[in-house]
Amino acid sequence: MPPLPFNLPPVPPLPFYIHPLVFWSIVLVIGIIFAVVFLRFLFAPPEERTGALVIFVLMVVGVVALYAIALNAPLIIYHFKRLTHPIFRW
């Protein structure tokens, strides 16, 4: 049992505000899904192992892409505004 009062770890710097409980809940759900997909790959019958591996790899790529987008969000927003300035007159 964790010592009381329990403090959540700090939220990494993001370009938007998110409540720490919501952030860590999302991380927990993604972790559980990741574990389930990985275990489905490990214990899949040999004829279904390739399909399970494809899903596992796509999930890993998706999580890494979300992480990269979150880290580079200010730069992505800046380039998006710069590219769409002639259209929308930001």
The owner of tokens 């991380």 is 27
Torsion of CA 27, 33, 34, 40, to 10 degrees: 170
How far is 38 from 45, CA to CA, in rounded Å?
A: 14
CA gyration radius, the chain: 19
How far is 81 from 18, CA to CA, in rounded Å?
A: 23
Check pLDDT > 60 for residue 7: yes
pLDDT at position 21 is 86
90 — pLDDT class (breaks 50, 70, 90): low
pLDDT digit string, tens, across residues 27-69: 899 999 999 999 999 999 988 999 999 998 999 999 899 888 8
